Amino acid sequence: MQNGRTSTRRPQPAGSFAARSRPERTNTNAVRLPSNRFQSAQRSYERYLSLAQDEARSGNIVGAENYYQHAEHYFRLMSANRAET
């Protein structure tokens, strides 16, 4: 309240805040079906490797290196998944 103005807002009852809070969201990770991590990692590896090769052909060495690093990450995931089985 500034300059003598009065507030037109009424105080809310104690339990009313919970009713106005955000609606409950479902956890999408819990709903997902189990996927084959190896195939997913392999697809990502192939995609990033292809992107890296395209960038290298176009002369963008920095972009190619970035994609190669992403591909290497997925290659390591595939290796780890193979070691688990």
Q: What is the pLDDT of residues 30-83, one digit of tens each?
A: 544 445 666 888 999 999 999 999 999 999 999 999 999 999 999 999 888 888
Q: What pTM was computed for the model? A: 0.55
- Spans of all domains in the chain: 36-84
Distance CA 57, CA 37 (A): 30
By CB neighbour count within 10 A (0-12 exposed, 13-18 middle, 19+ buried), where does 52 fall?
buried
**Contact of 71 with 45, CB cutoff 8 Å:** yes
pLDDT at 33: 44
Q: What is the pLDDT of residues 9-35, one digit of tens each?
A: 666 666 555 555 566 665 555 544 445
Distance CA 69, CA 23 (A): 40
CA angle at 45 for the pair 39 and 49, rounded to the nearest 5° = 150
